[in-house]
């Protein structure tokens, strides 16, 4: 440290300027950090809104899908009632084919015999072995408490378009270059 009062005053002034700048810079850093965190809050709000919007759109899509399936079922049942012998409906823009299937319906679970149940646990809780029951019912036998249901399922059919021959690429001949003339040298 110097004994010169001018150097001491200059040192003191520079120290105060440094501390003032440091304080000012610290305030700027704090303010900037606060602005960045405001932006983070905004992004979180947008993310929450998008999640809610996504759920809303998902619910709308489910509603539309269910409505479309109900209308499709109605139209196909109507067509099937009017022409029950048909196995395929070819419409101008749609084609549907039928497929027969069968399922077992439980009419009274408590009277189903034990041999048509899956596991030996208390009678009320024993699930019915529908695969074994369906085979037995299809063979013409009856099972108390079970009934064979014959179903007709209609599925959209979109035949694959027949492939067309693909055009072949013609080989292009390389361009013929003419020899340079005196007129060409000026460009």
Residue showing tokens 């509603």: 63
Q: Which of 20-24, 153-157, 163-167 has the lowest mean pLDDT?
A: 163-167
Whether the full predicted model's pTM is greater than 0.75, yes or no, is no
**C-beta of residue 104 within 8 angstroms of C-beta of residue 130:** yes
Residue 107's pLDDT is what?
A: 86
Q: Which of 22-31, 119-128, 131-140 has the lowest mean pLDDT?
A: 119-128
127 and 103 housed in the same domain: yes
The 10s digit of each residue's pLDDT in 2-36 is 677 887 787 788 777 777 777 777 777 777 888 88
Residue 119 has pLDDT above 80, yes or no: no
Residue 11's pLDDT is what?
A: 77
Q: Residue 110 sits in which domain range?
A: 88-156
* Terminal Cα-to-Cα distance of the chain (whole angstroms): 78
Q: Give the span between the Cα atoms of 151 and 88, in whole angstroms.
A: 15
68 and 102 housed in the same domain: no
Choose one of 65, 85, 105: the last residue of a domain: 85
Residue showing tokens 């646990």: 121
Query: Which is higher by pLDDT, 130 or 50?
Result: 50
How many C-alpha atoms does 53 have within 13 Å on its Cβ side? 6
């Amino acid at each position: 440290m110097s004994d010169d009062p001018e150097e001491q005053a200059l040192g003191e002034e520079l120290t105060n300027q440094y501390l003032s700048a440091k304080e000012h810079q610290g305030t700027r850093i704090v303010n900037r950090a606060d602005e960045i965190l405001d932006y983070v809050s905004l992004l979180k709000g947008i993310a929450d809104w998008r999640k809610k919007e996504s759920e809303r759109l998902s619910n709308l899509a489910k509603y539309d899908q269910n409505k479309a399936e109900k209308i499709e079922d109605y139209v196909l049942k109507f067509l099937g009632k009017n022409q029950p012998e048909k196995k395929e409906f070819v419409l101008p823009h749609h084609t549907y084919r039928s497929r027969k299937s069968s399922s077992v319906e439980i009419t009274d679970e408590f009277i189903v015999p034990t041999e048509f149940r899956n596991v030996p646990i208390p009678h009320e809780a024993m699930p019915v072995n529908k695969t074994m029951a369906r085979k037995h019912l299809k063979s013409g036998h009856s099972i108390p408490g079970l009934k064979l249901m014959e179903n007709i399922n209609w599925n959209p059919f979109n035949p694959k378009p027949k492939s067309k021959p693909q055009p072949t690429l013609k080989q292009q001949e390389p361009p013929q270059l003419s020899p340079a003339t005196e007129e060409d040298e000026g460009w």
